[in-house]
Chains A and B, each alone.
Chain A
Amino acid sequence: DGGITQSPKYLFRKEGQNVTLSCEQNLNHDAMYWYRQDPGQGLRLIYYSQIVNDFQKGDIAEGYSVSREKKESFPLTVTSAQKNPTAFYLCASRQGRAGEKLFFGSGTQLSVL
């Protein structure tokens, strides 16, 4: 089955620790996105990648980093500089030439110990 796989489903971060969230897609989509969702809030864009080896900061990129070395993979690192990382993180990819449809993964819930 084609789709987007996010792992792990739940992740706990200790003070001062960097953690990496995995996002893999087998849809052959060029564009991939990372969003953060807080309770009662909409989706806020962290990073966006249109093609391999290229990515742009979104509205809330501070404290996060990404890489896009392969078309299928777009991992997100939450660094120790992100002081309030507790949130639900969603990865998505885009079908078509424009953003008319995003396919989302099932999300990763990150919590601070």
Chain B
Amino acid sequence: QSALTQPPSASGSPGQSVTISCTGTSSDYNHVSWYQQHPGKAPKLMIYDAITRPSGVPDRFSGSKSGNTASLTVSGLQAEDEADYYCISYEGNNNLVFGGGTKLTVL
């Protein structure tokens, strides 16, 4: 199975918005999650079921999905948003696949 496709990098200035795409997700399910990972740390759940934000995650983070592409948008970029971001998709038959990851740089 192939990893989902994410852009290797993305960037934006403080206060701007940036969107990270995740292509190749199942069109049969909306179970896409997004994770933020800072260097040397465990990943943190930011979005699940494509659009749902766990409690405690700033509302600057939002998710969407259309067809086989999911997206994570970070609005009002802040310095602490600089991290690696990964998507994961449920593919059916109890199989999960991660994207290759996107390094977000806050300029």
Is the pairing of A and B real? no
